[in-house]
Amino acid sequence: MRTLHWFRNDLRLQDNPALLAACQQGAVLPVFILDTDEPARSALGGASRAWLHRSLTALNASLNNNLVMLKGSAQTLIPDLCARYQIEAVTWNRGYEPWTIQRDSGLKTALKARGLAVTSFNGALLFEPWDTVKKDGFPYRVYTPFYKHCMANLSPRIPGVLNATRIRVVPHAEQAGLESLALRPPVTWDDAMLTDWTPGEQGAQRRLQHFLATGMGDYREGRDFPAKRSVSGLSAHLHFGEISPHQVLASARAESPSDDNQAHFIKELVWREFSYNLLYHFPTLQEKNLQAKFDHFPWEANEALLKAWQTGQTGYPIVDAGMRELWQTGSMHNRVRMIVASFLVKNLRLHWHHGERWFWDCLVDADLASNSASWQWAAGCGCDAAPYFRIFNPTTQGQRFDPDGEYTRRYVPELLGLPNQYLYEPWACPVEISRAAGIVMGKDYPAPIVEVKASREAALLAFSEMKRRAAG
């Protein structure tokens, strides 16, 4: 039997249930399509496109340059390929984004009408979203009971193994190739951004093994300190499916002690599942507040403040370090993500959509479920969200989680010579000390764009106004 396997966000050979099924059926036509039918709002951002270019390069190499890579409408291209190469079956791993579900459903119906066998699999999650619901059939909206449900029902599968040298590929004459996708920008800024990353299946496995050897032992406490890097760095690899959550879970349990560090890491894997659970059951997650009362929030509109936040010029060093890290590396430490998000939606009172869209374009791990759910969490309008009135103080957050300034100075080198005492309050530094460090405040480093105490009070007033409006 000839089977077309449609690669999507499953850019790996191992533990790929749809690919394995295709190989077991006979010869395989491996295909990736950059689908031009995808709505602009959910199309890949710049950083993700750069990552995808390299991930596809790696996948194609592992398939001995037999990967068919095309740009166009999948609803047209896949039936055409099936007809051209006498394909009898089609396999893919499921996606859970609203548009993906709609497209896949229509395509499956059309292909079956042509007499093809079409099978989809779960290659991205530990659980299908429809299997993680409450006894009454409604989705969980609070994380802790969701986590308990998952752990009580977790049956890890043994990651599937595929002998890559024995994959029989359907001969084809497709010539378009990777460059036809035009994923890389005309000016290759992405080379610098991806210096510390290795997209692709082998890079994902190396990243996992490095984390298990050097980061897992300090994960529970160390993951809050950006200078320590006691984090896995697997989110982009998971998003593009270069590694599966089952592979991560199996390796974590087999190669690390069963202690609090491991337990907290698994909680983060399940938090990813929670985000997908929310997206599946609330398909407007990217656009619509899950808590309707936030529809009445009096957000500000200030392009100058937004630009300062985006470019890391807020005058608050830990915030600026995070935003510059994002721009330079396509990533940001999780603790710092919470700090910069709180600053945007609370101290600046700018709509969380601004943050969600900026992260979508700048993150190599931009994931519709995680990005949308996390921004709603930070803004207080999501499920089990951080209360809006809980406002991070960027000064004390920096002092607590980067006390020596190693992370902050890496991305805000203007402050390199500033004593730790003043690093997170540079405006309070005596002029003679700042000048001795080579800094003229307001020139070499910006003054704060808002005052923390006043902006906090304004945020709380806005929150009260929202409640008043919502009450009618």
**Residues classed as catalytic:** 268, 271, 299, 334, 352, 375
Whether residue 87 contacts residue 11, with contact meaning beta carbons closer than 8 Å, is answered with no
Question: Which residue's entry shows tokens 């990552």?
Answer: 51
Among 458, 413, 227, 435, smallest CA distance to 317 is for 413
Question: Which residue's entry shows tokens 């050097």?
Answer: 214
Q: What is the Cα–Cα distance from 456 to 389, expressed in whole angstroms?
A: 9
**Lookup: tokens for 27:** 């010869």
Cα within 13 Å of Cα(355), Cβ side: 27
- The backbone torsions φ and ψ at residue 250, rounded to the nearest 5 degrees and listed phi first, read -65, -45
Q: What is the Cα–Cα distance from 380 to 352, expressed in whole angstroms?
A: 10
